[in-house]
Structure 1
Amino acid sequence: MGLGGSFDETSSFMAEFLKKCGGYAVVDGGFATELERHGADLNDPLWSAKCLITSPHLVKRVHLDYLDAGANIITSGSYQGTIQGFEAKGFTKEEGEGLLKKSVELACEARAIYYDRCTKDSWDYFTQNNNSNNATSLTLSRPVLVAASVGSYGAYLADGSEYTGKYGDEVSVERLKDFHRRRVQVLANSGADLIAFETTPNKIEAQAYVEVVEEEEIDIPVWMSFSSTDGMNSASGDSMMECAAIADSCKQVVAIGINCTPPRFITNLISCLRKVSCKPIVIYPNSGETYDSGSKKWIRSNGVVEEDFVSCVRKWQEAGASLFGGCCRTTPNTIRAISKLLSGNSSNYKA
């Protein structure tokens, strides 16, 4: 059911997908948040990727929760899954590669289960189309993509640097390329529709991603999303416009966006992205809380009152974004509310 195209087709990939979805798309929400709600213990350097080993059934269940909530795009449980991280746990390189592939397989299986349910439960999920021979065929009226998640180098370090981008002077673009290269190769051939480079905290990692994609001739689309703590710059302090320009320079990048960032910063960040790119913008903020790497807990910022998350979606859409979801501490309820709002079926519900 994948929609991935060849290298020459990627420029129109996201535009065509958005057209199929009605002009906007809904991305899933917090993955680890839901795994923990279902009883998973994620106190581990692998974080949510631990469940690929211990609880694959929960991974699939969370994907289904988000599909049922209205998501058009679900992201694999590979955000903190790295070959190096799996090797540190005693797995071989080949076994680590197998776990990366498994993360995508589980998402694809969840999509297949969801489609099967739709087929059995309601014909409302399908539309009739006449082909050139005047024969009528049925296609899904709500297509779903599987995005293979790639977290930052800082996520692998599990020291909080994914939220600051402060990797030290010894970490160069070349070192980051060496770190990410094999994981990107594996995920590009895993059956995913696209690769999602998420929570990118600085421009050197963005540059590393672009060079790996181009050097390895990755032939599926990718998106790149950045994090920010001030509404103007990436988490490291690099100009968001400079970061976005790096992403925009890569033909395979079909969308650029912001994730794991407080909602109050999003509107201005969309403006920053739009100044340097005409590509679709994907927005999936966190709940507005801040992660404390020392206590490993999410805390509310003192004196800061967040706007209602879902009520901001229309404002973000008007600012130029076209893909909307949630990151840390958001739930299927959040995604359901976003989906209802965008489809015109909103109520007074607040996620």
Structure 2
Amino acid sequence: MGSSARLRQFVHDNGPLILDGGLATELEAQGAKLQGDPLWSARLLHTNPQAIRDAHSRFLLSGADIIATVTYQASIPGFIRHLDVSAERARELLMSGVHLAKETVTRFDSGHQRPLVAGSVGPYGAFLRDGSEYTGAYAAEMSVEELKVWHRPQIDCLAAAGADLIAFETIPSIKEAEAVVELLREFPDTTAWLSFSCKDGKCISDGSLFTEAVQVARRSTQLLAVGVNCCPPDVVEPLLDSAASLQSPDMSWVVYPNSGEDWNPERGWKTSEKLSATIPELSHTWLKQGAALIGGCCRIGPALIAQLRRELKGDCTPAASAEPS
């Protein structure tokens, strides 16, 4: 049985799987200064790897079945430029994101199935640091091949480091989706999910219909799931409804919205309490719509993930032998 088939069976046997929340949110809650940093949370791979281990541990303690690496904004060019390191050291740093997550999982003993590690790959817009992962504007001036060239080193590092699967996250455009779907074929033993940033209940960030985005994802036999992340929770249901006819037994929905607050590249998150508490409640609807991987993105911490697990799994947060140090 291939890796994609094994993971599909894992989801079938253990689903719904609970994803973690906003890793950067949790790191900031514990004192990390990330706002304005060109490497964002990936800088801590160089300066404070223990903080990353501790954040992973808190999400595992909250009941996450899958934790994502701190590599969303990590790249070989980014590390070289902003840390003044060699290409070899940059590659080591990127791979260390997987190693840290896997070390934490190994130390974690819940008595349940071993949690999985998803290697996080953000869009090219995350490297640009101008908020364009929520517009996809850069894709108009780039070719599919250029986007493949950009993403190839990151995927290579995460796969080589042993990530259980790759998470293509917050993808804002059809063109970038086409690029990662094509690129995935170069890594035939790698399984992934593909999630889009969306502007409303029908369209992804570049204005394309979500149905068109799902059709691109369906070209790949290596994608375990397709869905949405870092969008307001209240747009998830209409988005999934719009593409209900495209769902297949081989590809589940993955859903992990943010708190519903607004992000401004210059001023950060606009604080609001309006939607964050509704994720666990809305998750029942998403589950009925066929979502098999459900969690949170920015501004969602371990406490809400624990609540989500209780809502969907009906159990308490699993005890663990690996406490955060």
Structure-1-length-normalised TM-score: 0.85
Q: Which residue of structure 1 aligns with residue 149 of structure 2?
A: 178
Write the deviation string for residues 315-347 of structure 1: whole angstroms up to 9, x where unpaired.
Answer: 11112211110000000011100111112248x
1:101 paired with 2:95, answer yes
Task: Using the TM superposition, give the Cα deviation of residue 227 of structure 1 relative to its aligned residue in structure 2, in angstroms.
Answer: 1.2
Matches within 5 A, 1:115-134: 115=109, 118=110, 125=111
Task: Using the TM superposition, give the Cα deviation of residue 300 of structure 1 relative to its aligned residue in structure 2, in angstroms.
Answer: 4.4
Aligned letter for 2:266?
G
1:62 paired with 2:55, answer yes
Aligned letter for 1:287?
S
Give % identity: 39
Task: Using the TM superposition, give the Cα deviation of residue 228 of structure 1 relative to its aligned residue in structure 2, in angstroms.
Answer: 0.7
Match of residue 18, structure 1, among 11, 15, 18:
11
CA contact (8 A) 1:262 1:288 kept: yes
Closer, same or farther in 2 for the Cα pair 1:169/1:36, shift >3 Å?
same
Q: Which residue of structure 2 aligns with residue 255 of structure 1?
A: 225
Task: Using the TM superposition, give the Cα deviation of residue 305 of structure 1 relative to its aligned residue in structure 2, in angstroms.
Answer: 6.3
Whole-Å separation in 1 of the counterparts to 2:94 and 2:188: 16
Where 1:322 maps in the other structure, the secondary structure is strand
Whole-Å separation in 2 of the counterparts to 1:147 and 1:51: 18
Whole-Å separation in 2 of the counterparts to 1:274 and 1:103: 35
Task: Using the TM superposition, give the Cα deviation of residue 82 of structure 1 relative to its aligned residue in structure 2, in angstroms.
Answer: 0.7
Write the deviation string for residues 168-222 of structure 1: whole angstroms up to 9, x where unpaired.
Answer: 53222111111111111111111110000000111100001011111x2341211
Q: Which residue of structure 1 aligns with residue 253 of structure 2?
A: 281
Matches within 5 A, 1:234-253: 234-253=204-223
Larger Rg: 1
Q: Which residue of structure 1 aligns with residue 114 of structure 2?
A: 143
Q: Which residue of structure 2 aligns with residue 87 of structure 1?
A: 80
Runs of 4+ in structure 1 over 6 Å off: 304-307
CA contact (8 A) 2:17 2:294 kept: yes
Q: Which residue of structure 2 aligns with residue 47 of structure 1?
A: 40
Q: Which residue of structure 2 aligns with residue 201 of structure 1?
A: 172
Aligned letter for 1:37?
A
Q: Which residue of structure 1 aligns with residue 71 of structure 2?
A: 78
Q: How many corresponding residue pairs?
A: 312
CA contact (8 A) 2:279 2:308 kept: no
Whole-Å separation in 2 of the counterparts to 1:298 and 1:171: 31
Aligned letter for 1:106?
L
Write the deviation string for residues 291-316 of structure 1: whole angstroms up to 9, x where unpaired.
Answer: 01122333449xx7677221111111
- Shifted more, 166-175 versus 292-301: the winner is 292-301
When the two chains are superposed, the root-mean-square deviation of aligned CA atoms in Å is 1.8
Whole-Å separation in 1 of the counterparts to 2:125 and 2:46: 22
Whole-Å separation in 1 of the counterparts to 2:95 and 2:190: 15
CA contact (8 A) 1:79 1:149 kept: yes
1:333 paired with 2:325, answer no
- Shifted more, 170-179 versus 291-300: the winner is 291-300
Where 1:199 maps in the other structure, the secondary structure is strand
CA contact (8 A) 1:231 1:268 kept: yes
Matches within 5 A, 1:289-300: 289-300=261-272
CA contact (8 A) 2:119 2:165 kept: yes
Aligned letter for 2:71?
S
Task: Using the TM superposition, give the Cα deviation of residue 274 of structure 1 relative to its aligned residue in structure 2, in angstroms.
Answer: 3.0
Q: Which residue of structure 1 aligns with residue 322 of structure 2?
A: none
Whole-Å separation in 1 of the counterparts to 2:18 and 2:128: 30
Task: Using the TM superposition, give the Cα deviation of residue 15 of structure 1 relative to its aligned residue in structure 2, in angstroms.
Answer: 2.7
Task: Using the TM superposition, give the Cα deviation of residue 94 of structure 1 relative to its aligned residue in structure 2, in angstroms.
Answer: 1.0
CA contact (8 A) 2:139 2:175 kept: no
1:315 paired with 2:273, answer no
Q: Which residue of structure 1 aligns with residue 20 of structure 2?
A: 28
Closer, same or farther in 2 for the Cα pair 1:333/1:307, shift >3 Å?
closer
Q: 5+ unaligned residues in a row in structure 2: which ranges?
A: 317-325
Whole-Å separation in 1 of the counterparts to 2:255 and 2:209: 18
Whole-Å separation in 1 of the counterparts to 2:277 and 2:94: 36
Whole-Å separation in 2 of the counterparts to 1:168 and 1:270: 24
Structure number with higher relative contact order (C-alpha < 8 Å, ≥ 6 residues apart): 2
Task: Using the TM superposition, give the Cα deviation of residue 14 of structure 1 relative to its aligned residue in structure 2, in angstroms.
Answer: 3.4
